[in-house]
Structure 1
Amino acid sequence: MHPAVQSAIRSLVSEGKTPTVATVKSKLTAPVPMPVLIAALSAYKNNPEAIESIESSEESVEVNKQTQLDRIEAKLDKLLALLEERA
């Protein structure tokens, strides 16, 4: 699901409004093709919990990115230490 559409749907749901093509389109922060908007709205209507599951998967991706960044930083620190020893 397109992140801008997902955010717009989540915003509408949190306001207690029913997401429709018009209301979602009015909340978009970035241009989204109409077929993408309609597909995302259909997916939401078929499974409203999909928004929550996508949100949790995004959080796990963010944690994985941070873990990977931490490993890269640790390797860089080791390489810098080796270079300083040889200098």
Structure 2
Amino acid sequence: MESGCSSLSLKTKQVMENLKLVLDHAGTSFAQVVMARIFVTDFRYYQTVNDLYASYFNNNRLPCRTTVGVIGLAGNGDVEIDLIVYCGD
């Protein structure tokens, strides 16, 4: 049986990989992210989510971010991340 931490870690990695695909398809990357919002159902694993999230960015330039602990997410998910991306010149 997976621990809550490893399960949330896998789910967070999948969310980030999905976002990477969307960014690639749009011809951009995590380097262009200016704002992120993270919603997580179990705030005990904040650091796990934070570490995985940060690993997709240059440590010298992390976008501004809000992380919110929530009771539930649509589709019974445990983590949701949305991004605002600068796509100009």
**Bin of the TM-score, shorter chain as denominator length:** under 0.3
Q: Which has the higher helix share?
A: 1
TM-score normalised according to structure 2 size: 0.27
**Superposition TM-score, scaled by structure 1 size:** 0.27
- When Rg is computed on C-alpha atoms for both structures, the one with the higher figure is 1
* More strand as a share of residues: 2
